[in-house]
Amino acid sequence: MKNKQNIEKVPLIGQTLKEIVHLIQEMGFPKFRGKQIFQWLYQHRINEMNEMANVPNDIRQKLSSSFIIHPLQLNLHTKSDQEPTEKFLFTLQSGEDIESVLMKDGKRNTLCISTQVGCAVDCDFCATAKMGFQKNLTTGEIVDQYIHVQNMSSRPITNIVFMGMGEPFLNYKNVISAADLLNHPEGIQMGARRITISTAGVVPKIKQFAEEKHKYKLAISLNASNEPQRKEIMPITKTHRLNDLMEAADMYYQSSGRFPTFEYVLMEGINDSLRDAHELARLIGRQPCKVNVIPYNEIGGIYRRPSDDKIKSFLSQLKNVPFQVTVRWSRGTDIKAGCGQLAVNSDS
């Protein structure tokens, strides 16, 4: 385990406007100072307390005695030689490591952020799953990935996807709080439609997400065309059955009016046959949705990416379906930044 970083001080990133206002009032300062500090943290993305130019020095000094700004420390920044994709390795105060990925595509500048150290869902084809589950990230540790990366990026981040390390809906409270901070009108101001939360299929949390009428987009890792196939590669299916998952996805659509996105990682000899394509079309039926077909990114295990001809053949069977189908070629695979490739060893 790495040395702990300023573990005795509490990070300010991750605190809500209400919490910061309360903190400032508890210190004996006026309420409006809390809003100023909130804006310095999230709009101006400061790194030092003394950067808060319009906040009196006595407030800054008092904050510095008990608080730090960032819960994360950036340890490594890696750029792809093949495309405009970058990977960031962060260390938590408690010593564990996580990764984030920034992908540029035309005018889109998308940040893929992590929500856990490791993952408990244990999808058989995913590198993160090989780490096992270590801990949930705090709200601040999730949001701070954006703060650090935006400070290093020459362009504004236009989209955020909760698709990095971990299962977001097994850290539901902190993930929703992080999305709310990213969306806050007095802070980062990321549009709700530019924030996507992904899940491997935690059915009760999808239903809660729908019932609470959150504004954020939903992506579901489907990856199979039938129940037995999905159980084999995604053990979560033993607890959350495929039919229940499809019903929960429809509930989200009925509640929000927004199409859920089904992610379908295409793996050779597993789910890439013409029969799989037909079964996928039947499974979804006329449910309003989008389907992202993702050719598999190899991680050195038994799974392989299908040949280009096999991918084309699979896609050809989905030409006339009543839902939108797109192909998402993962970026940054040369630096292991592609979908399913994120993994770190926190003990190194």
Backbone angles phi, psi at 294, to 5 degrees: -120, 105
Q: What is the pLDDT of residues 298-313, one digit of tens each?
A: 777 788 999 999 999 9
Give the pLDDT confidence of 247-266 residue by residue, as tens digits. 999 999 999 999 999 999 99
pLDDT interval class at 124 (50, 70, 90): confident
pLDDT tens-digit readout, 211-252: 999 999 999 999 999 999 999 999 999 999 999 999 999 999
Dist CA 84 CA 74 (whole Å): 20
Does residue 255 contact residue 211 with C-beta atoms inside 8 Å? Answer: yes
- Which two three-digit tokens encode residue 149? 């990366």
Domains delineated in the chain: 10-68 (1.10.150.530), 72-335 (3.20.20.70)
Lowest mean pLDDT among 87-96, 116-125, 208-217: 116-125
Q: Which residues are catalytic?
A: 99, 339
Query: Terminal CA-to-CA distance of the chain, rounded, Å?
Result: 7
Using DSSP's 3-state secondary structure scheme, residue 202 falls into coil
* Residues 131-185 pLDDT 10s: 888 999 999 999 999 999 999 998 999 999 999 999 999 999 999 999 999 999 9
Question: Which pTM value belongs to this model?
Answer: 0.92
Provide the β-strand partners of residue 110: 103, 159
Relative to beta strand 290-295, strand 324-327 is parallel
